Amino acid sequence: MEELGLDALGSKYIDELERMQKRIADLMEEVEGPSLNKGVIRPLADVHETDEAVVVTMDMPGVEKQDIDISVVEDELRVSAQRKREAEINEEDYHRRERTYTRFERRVLLPVSIKTEEARATLVNGVLQITLPKATVIARKRIAIE
């Protein structure tokens, strides 16, 4: 009996399998929830889709806009930030010290292709909103042989 390899599935299926693998990794990350991992906080995110864009919203309390880095790598949105101390205070002057000054990191798998050059972000009252316009998807077209 002949074995079926990935070649038999075709490149169409390979692309879909890779996308599913990334989605499973994203779901596994979501199961973990917000956690402190190696000094990094994973902020919670809301992701919704309109007819024109994918919108990602996440809380970034106490973070200044210049301390946030946003990028898109393939079909993944990456957000990292750092909340910094306002001023140095001597340790012995503290009565209580509960607030953290750490890094935030979050990766979000994007459900559709986007136009990275038209993406925009705002930070209002500690809430980061990233709007990623959808790329125009070209429908499959048959090409006739002349």
* Residues 52, 85 contacting (CB under 8 angstroms): no
pLDDT value at residue 139? 67
Residue 75 burial (10 A CB sphere; 0-12, 13-18, 19+) = middle
pLDDT at 1: 46
3-class DSSP assignment, residue 91: helix
| Sheet order of strands, 53-59 included | 45-49, 53-59, 127-133, 120-124
Is the pTM higher than 0.85? no
Encode pLDDT of 32-52 as tens digits: 554 445 567 888 899 999 999
* CA distance linking residue 77 with residue 105, whole number of Å: 11
Which structure tokens are listed for 46? Answer: 């809301």
Q: How many CB atoms lie within 10 A of CB 57?
A: 15
For 65, half-sphere exposure in the C-beta direction (CA atoms, 13 angstrom radius) is 10
- Would the pLDDT of 5 be above 90? no
Instruction: Enumerate domains of the chain plus CATH numbers.
Output: 8-86+100-133 (2.60.40.790)
Residue 48 · residue 55 · CB < 8 Å: yes
Report residue 6's pLDDT band, with 50, 70 and 90 as the boundaries: low
72-105: per-residue pLDDT in tens?
998 899 999 988 776 677 777 777 776 767 788 9
Q: Supply the DSSP symbol for 27.
A: H
Q: How far apart are CA 68 and CA 54, in angstroms?
A: 19
